[in-house]
Amino acid sequence: MSNKISLSASEIPEVLQGIPDAPKELFLLGSLNETMARPRIAIVGSRKVTAYGRSVTQQFAGELAAQGVAIISGLALGVDGIAHKAALEAGGITTAVLPTGLDKIYPSTHRQLAQQIVAQDGALLTEYKDGTRGYKGNFIARNRLVSGLSDAVLITEAAEKSGTMHTAAFAIKQGRKVLVVPGNITSPQSAGTNNLLKAGAAAVTSPSDVLIALGVSLKSKARTRPTSNDPHEQAILDLLYEGVTDAAELHEKSGLNVELFNQTLTMLEISGHIHPVGSNQWSLS
């Protein structure tokens, strides 16, 4: 791969210039134009991913990429690679931040994936010069750039002592949102994610939850308008489909009295049509 570019401190994206321990120089292969022009989500997690983690990562990365969200990750085995691949398969944009020089793609099995990222208007980014191998400290340092480049960090599966916890810690220090997919409480591979939830991270159970957190409107073509035989339920479903998510705004625009509104909302949740996503916000299921 050729056409590598060196970015000086003043040329580095502003979102990275303002983080603690900001990089002084970056090396780029591909283009950051499409990535920086879009909402950006970092999707990270364990290298030893379970079938559940793989499925969840593919679903979130693919659907978010299809909605125009740029996917940021670290090209590692497991969740990182799955997220990059799903974004590419959805025709989306993805950028990989490396713990090595651009000439030392790590892992080497992801060299073709790295080439596909660049070919599809994404980028490979690193703060390490050519010839730099993947030293242990580089992986941790790399994670601050993954979170720093993003608007929020999504963790789909992580064990208790996963390196992903470093990314979550960096995100908190940088003022980025930390979003977590809940995992099986009996699975060691979900211990890290579930601990983050107990510590106050936001739970997400669908890609639409992430879009809400990013402040991105769902493209209507990606969802069929939901229907109900109850006119009160239909009124709320129509509002949610049109992008209204705040409970107070739903109540006002539905024209229902408080008692009827709350009753209708409860019935829609019980029937599985909608679900709460925190902060008095609601989403279609």
121-131: pLDDT as tens digits = 999 999 999 99
The CATH number that applies at residue 261 is 1.10.10.10
The answer to the question of residue 55 being in a domain is yes
- Same domain? 209 vs 229: no
- Same domain? 27 vs 99: yes
**Cα(95)–Cα(120) distance, integer angstroms:** 10
Q: How confident is the model at residue 134 (pLDDT cuts 50, 70, 90)?
A: confident
Q: How confident is the model at residue 223 (pLDDT cuts 50, 70, 90)?
A: low
- Same domain? 20 vs 87: yes
The CATH number that applies at residue 181 is 3.40.50.450
In the chain, how many domains are there? 2
Distances 180 to 207, 232, 237, 276 between C-alpha atoms, Å:
11, 33, 26, 15
Residue spans of alpha helices (H) in 149-281: 164-173, 191-198, 207-214, 231-241, 247-254, 258-270
Domain end (from 164, 182, 214): 214
- The percentage of the chain sitting over the pLDDT mark of 90, rounded to a whole number, equals 79
pLDDT tens-digit map of 35-72: 999 999 999 999 999 999 999 999 999 999 999 999 99
**Cα(105)–Cα(112) distance, integer angstroms:** 10
| Average pLDDT score, the chain | 92
The sign of the torsion formed by the CA atoms of 257, 258, 262, 265 equals positive
Cβ partners under 8 Å of residue 80, min gap 6: 43, 44, 45, 47, 73, 74, 96
- In this prediction, residue 4 carries a pLDDT of 83
Look up the domain containing 274 and give its range. Answer: 224-284
Collapsing DSSP states into helix, strand and coil, what is residue 224?
coil
Q: How many helices (H) and strands (E) does the chain have?
A: 12, 11
- Residue that is written with structure tokens 């209507």 in the block: 220
**Cα(250)–Cα(194) distance, integer angstroms:** 31
The secondary structure of residue 12, as a DSSP letter, is: S
Length of the chain: 285
Cβ partners under 8 Å of residue 76, min gap 6: 47, 107
Q: Kindly state the tokens that stand for 269.
A: 């949740």
Domain end (from 214, 242, 267): 214
**Cα(217)–Cα(3) distance, integer angstroms:** 36
Q: What is the pTM of this model?
A: 0.76
